[in-house]
A and B are shown apart, each in its own frame.
Chain A
Amino acid sequence: MQEHDLSWVRTEMALAQAAPRSEVGPLAWARKSLFATPVDSALTIIAALALAWALPQMLNWAFFNAVWSGADRTACLTTEQGGFLPAGWTGACWPFIDARLGYFTFGRYPVDERWRVILCGAIFLALLVPLLTPRAPFKRLNAILFFAVFPFIAFFLLLGGYFGLPYVETPLWGGLMVTLVISYVGIVTSLPLGILLALGRRSKMPIVKLLSVIFIETVRGVPLVAVLFMASFMLPLFVPPGMTFDKLLRALIGVALFSSAYMAEVIRGGLQAIPKGQYEGADSLGLGYWQKMGLIVMPQALKLVIPGIVNTFIGLFKDTTLVLIISLFDLLGTVKQSISGDPTWATPQTAKTGYVFAAAVFWIFCFSMSRYSIYMERRLDTGHRK
């Protein structure tokens, strides 16, 4: 019996060995994530070749070959086109953006009054940033200021005509400013309208339900362009002779109605996810309909669908470009007008430069919104997990 001699049992932990050479380092990473199978290798090589072909061209166009300063079109023309650049040159014409930046931002808003737009933007940011920061205090006050008070401030500040501010008519508005005004109004009006429609669609009153369904499905079934078209051509027919609506107001009505239908569907999804017990609980407490919805159901439902709401906002923001079709000049509209209506900057590169600039601006806005939505989703998700 050699019971005491269990020497084959280790008494101390074995020292960790370095991973085999073939499993670490960049080479192993490349083998695992780039050349795992023959198909993978082929794909990687094709993709790499495509990138090697496309990336330098893009970078050259946007940066290394681009023109960065100049006073007019001659700066961006090749010798055969009447400029000084070597024949066959292609590259971005950035001075065009620089020269037109004011127009892209404010449209034809009078130069002396542009401080009003800037001030308005500053107030907007000052209210928006704390509203979006979860830890910032005074959320309720902040929200009231942002959604209920700010519209009035913006209205008087941008339009003027009161308190000694000169009146600036809306046809002069344009550029990024119009994009933001339409998005803001669309967002602020579509949320409450969407909530009402969603409640209407789930209402027990047959007529209310029917009307909500008809409205939501009709609006969702037709393109925004057709809705805007209606707002701009039919509205004048619907009102008494002589009463006219401002063109921007027509676009705002169209956009608000359109996005409220989409918003209603998002919110309906949230309402459906609330367990029946919550409704019954509210009923058993003796709460009325609006108390039940306002205090128990909506807060939970809205929280659930925040990502969906933000996605609708992103869609709305992108859709503002369509007002171009009814001759309102948002950011894309001003860019487009400058590209083809301005002899000072007519070059073969102007269009590309302008569109790249507009795309970059829209991208920054939409991408940050979607990132924020993901961030909120994560935050709220942890709150829900047991």
Chain B
Amino acid sequence: MKNVLTVALGVTALAFTASVASADTLSDVKAKGFIQCGVNTGLAGFSAPNDKGEWTGLDVDFCRAMAAAIFGDGTKVKFTGLSAKDRFTALQSGEIDVLSRNTTWTVNRDTALGLNFAGVTYFDGQGFMINAKKLPGVNSALQLSGAAVCVQAGTTTELNLADYFKANKMEYNPVVFEKFEEANAAYDAGRCDAYTTDQSGLYAVRLQMSAPDDHVVLPEIISKEPLGPAVRQGDDKWLDIAKWTYYALLNAEEAGITQANVEEMKNSENPDIKRILGVEAETKIGTDLGLDNAWVVNIIKATGNYGEIFERNVGSGSPLKIARGINALWTKGGLQYGMPIR
């Protein structure tokens, strides 16, 4: 009887779209022919649908890179827009295979919520934005005592905000919104003096204001927000693929392999580059991961290296114009350090 019910419900679900998650995500993904990737419903630079309804952004490109690593084709990925609230449920229930939605890596999430983080695709920190026209003379978050602050509910941001004001013995009025867009709109209408979220998010929000130039981001960073892709616990093979896709992007940048020159680089004499691109004789790196040996070539062809992804989505090539800062490679004074592909 239990089986009958299961089957009946299962058929209903399949009629729409269902994915069956098991301990072996890679085989499942290969069987269905695409990765289901959970992203933010709309955060410029990280994941947002463009005019044509295609998803773009840094988080989105990470999923494309994973698709390229697995299928050799960066388009074999489907995106699910998720709110802060339903993102973990979606991953746990198997609705998505990878969660790439500007999610902060915390110990609580790594353990109690059953996630595994693959790396930090963007080192962020929480900051404040104010309307400089309305509040001339405010140039530090420490001057915000008594301010009304707009914030999104159910995020680490909300908790950091409470801690920061408490630690500095300042008063504030939180105005908490369920959704990012609601918080934006209220801040734009002057409901709050300050808006707080991850700094990268602040730059994105600024663009959506009716007078972007009036708003300034304050220098204080009140928390560590390492944002990265996460997968379900208990599937090491799938975690490896997510992890090494990320490292491949970093290694490619470090070795100077770009979308434009990846084909020539294959003929390079440099053993490092040869190893990364899988053109070394008798190489097993790709197959050991359960992928094709040309996996890095496929990734770079699809999305470019980490630097290219960064500049295209949030850096100089984007309206956000965020500097690399701590997201530069370790060789250039940043924190991005790709484990060696060897």
Contact = CB atoms under 8 A, between A and B. Distances in A.
A and B touch in the complex (CB under 8 A): yes
Contact of B48 (A240, A336, A339, A341): A341
Contacts of B22: 242
A244 B18 contact: yes
A170 B17 contact: yes
Contacts of A232: 86, 89
A112 B13 CA distance: 27
A248 B185 CA distance: 26
A326 interface: yes
Given A171-B79, A236-B92, A244 B185 contact: no
B80 A172 contact: no
A81 B22 CA distance: 54
A243 B83 contact: no
Contacts of A336: 181
B158 interface: no
Nearest to B204: A343
Contacts of B9: 239, 243
Contact of B208 (A236, A247, A248, A340): A340
Interface stretch (A124-132, A255-263, A346-354): A346-354
29 contacts: A81-B211, A169-B17, A170-B17, A171-B80, A171-B81, A172-B53, A237-B93, A239-B13, A241-B21, A242-B22, A243-B6, A243-B10, A243-B18, A243-B94, A244-B21, A245-B16, A246-B18, A247-B80, A248-B16, A249-B12, A325-B178, A327-B82, A339-B181, A340-B184, A341-B208, A342-B208, A343-B207, A348-B210, A351-B189
Contact of A246 (B17, B78, B184): B17
Most buried by A among B16, B184, B319: B16
B139 interface: no
A240 B6 contact: yes
Contacts of A77: 210
Contacts of B211: 81-82
Contacts of B18: 243-246
A110 B53 CA distance: 8
A233 interface: yes
Contacts of B280: none
Interface residues of B, number: 45
Given A111-B52, A111-B53, A247-B80, 9 more contacts: A82-B211, A233-B86, A240-B6, A244-B13, A244-B21, A245-B13, A327-B81, A337-B41, A343-B207
B44 interface: yes
Contacts of B208: 340-343, 346
A340 B182 contact: yes
Contacts of A244: 13, 18-19, 21, 93-95
A326 B6 contact: no
A170 B181 contact: no
A108 interface: yes
Contacts of B78: 169
Given A327-B82, A343-B44, A351 B185 contact: yes
B49 interface: yes
Interface of B: 6, 9-10, 12-13, 16-22, 41-42, 44, 48-49, 52-53, 78-83, 86, 89, 92-95, 178, 181-182, 184-185, 188-189, 207-212, 319
Interface in A137-184: 159, 169-172
Given A248-B16, A340-B185, A236 B93 contact: yes
Most buried by B among A110, A111, A172, A242: A242
Contacts of A111: 52-53
A239 to B, nearest CB: 6
B91 to A, nearest CB: 10
Contact of B16 (A236, A249, A327, A343): A249
A340 B209 CA distance: 8
Contacts, number: 105
Contact of B181 (A73, A248, A341, A343): A341
B83 A327 contact: yes
A236 B94 CA distance: 9
B118 to A, nearest CB: 21
A233 B89 contact: yes
Contacts of B42: 337, 341
A127 to B, nearest CB: 23
Most buried by A among B21, B42, B210: B210
Interface in A328-384: 336-337, 339-343, 346-348, 350-351
Given A108-B53, A327-B81, A347 B178 contact: no
Contacts of B6: 240, 243
Contacts of A73: 210
Nearest to A328: B81
A246 B209 contact: no
Contacts of B93: 236-237, 241-242, 244
Contacts of A343: 44, 207-208, 212, 319
A163 to B, nearest CB: 16
Given A244-B93, A246-B13, A347 B53 contact: no
A301 to B, nearest CB: 31
A224 B100 CA distance: 30
B95 A236 contact: yes
B94 A81 contact: no
Contacts of B207: 343
Contacts of A340: 181-182, 184-185, 188, 208
A188 to B, nearest CB: 16
A158 to B, nearest CB: 11
A232 B80 CA distance: 14
Contacts of A169: 17, 78
B211 to A, nearest CB: 6
Most buried by A among B41, B42, B209, B211: B211
B117 to A, nearest CB: 21
**Top 7 closest A-B pairs, CB basis?**
A236-B93, A246-B16, A340-B181, A108-B53, A242-B21, A340-B185, A244-B95
B185 A339 contact: yes
Contact of B209 (A240, A249, A346): A346
Contacts of A248: 16
Nearest to B16: A246
A232 B90 CA distance: 10
Contacts of A81: 210-211
Interface string A215-253: 000000000000000001100110111111111110000
Interface string A98-137: 0000000000101100000000000000000000000000
Nearest to A338: B181
